[in-house]
């Protein structure tokens, strides 16, 4: 039996026996306004910042990073879908110059790849700046550019067209 299952079994048994019924605050919402892991010496400073609606630079930058990363991932997924549709149209419609159509499709792929590369490099720079400003426990792992570009290249289904 896995250790997690053993713990869950004990908790379930205790709940069935009613051992949690008389705990203080039972049935009332928990007060989550204070972080029990927060340094008490800094609690007042964070409270004042919150009251003044002031956000530290590193938190604001972290929010920007999250939004940028989400946007890049969504755009990559959209690019994959767009590439699949283009590939299907190309295979279904055999009229016209197939070589020219392939070259145009490959050109669009290369331009999109270059744009993603620029965005990933910009995101990596923001992450490095964030890690410089933020407390150590909040550090983020830098974006790996080449593996992401390899994933983008998987959307291109054929060898590079020859001119």
Question: Considering its fold, how many domains does the chain have in total?
Answer: 1
In a domain, residue 132? The reply is yes
Alpha carbon dihedral 110, 114, 117, 119, in 10-degree steps, equals: -130
| Structural domain includes residue 26 | no
Query: By mean pLDDT, which of 20-24, 91-95, 114-118 is the weakest?
Result: 91-95
Could you tell me if 127 and 62 are in contact, meaning their C-beta atoms sit under 8 angstroms apart? no
| Domain membership of residue 97 as a residue range | 57-153
Which of 37, 65, 73 has its CA nearest to residue 141? 65
Residue with the two structure tokens 């007060």: 31
Assign 33 a pLDDT band (cuts: 50, 70, 90). confident
Per the domain annotation, does 65 fall within a domain?
Answer: yes
Mean pLDDT across 24-49: 79
Q: Please state, as a whole number, how many other Cβ atoms lie within 10 Å of the Cβ of residue 139.
A: 12
Q: Is residue 24 part of a domain?
A: no
Assign 3-state DSSP to the chain and report helix, strand, coil percentages, each to 5.
65, 0, 35
Q: Kindly state whether residue 39 falls inside one of the protein's structural domains.
A: no
Handedness of CA 115, 116, 121, 125 (dihedral sign): positive
101 lies in a domain? yes
Identify whether the C-beta of residue 138 lies closer than 8 Å to the C-beta of residue 62: yes
Report pLDDT for 119: 95
pLDDT for the residue 162: 61
pLDDT tens for each residue of 5-31: 888 888 899 889 988 888 888 878 887
Is 119 inside any structural domain? yes
Decide if 110 is inside a domain. yes
pLDDT band at 80 (very low <50, low <70, confident <90, very high): confident
> Which range is most confident: 76-85, 97-106, 112-121?
112-121
């Amino acid at each position: 039996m896995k250790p997690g299952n053993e713990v869950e079994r004990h908790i379930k048994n205790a709940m069935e026996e009613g051992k949690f019924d008389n705990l203080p605050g039972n049935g009332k919402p928990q007060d989550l306004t204070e972080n029990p892991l927060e340094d008490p010496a800094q609690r007042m400073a964070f409270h004042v910042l919150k009251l003044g609606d002031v956000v530290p630079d590193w938190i604001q930058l972290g929010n920007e990073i999250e939004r940028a990363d989400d946007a890049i991932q969504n755009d990559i997924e959209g690019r994959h879908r767009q590439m699949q549709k283009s590939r299907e149209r190309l295979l279904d419609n055999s009229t016209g110059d197939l070589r020219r159509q392939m070259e145009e499709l490959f050109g669009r792929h290369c331009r999109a790849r270059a744009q993603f590369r620029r965005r990933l490099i910009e995101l990596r720079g923001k992450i490095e700046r964030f890690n410089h400003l933020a407390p150590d426990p909040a550090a983020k792992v830098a974006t790996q550019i080449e593996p992401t570009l390899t994933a983008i290249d998987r959307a291109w289904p054929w060898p590079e067209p020859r001119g």
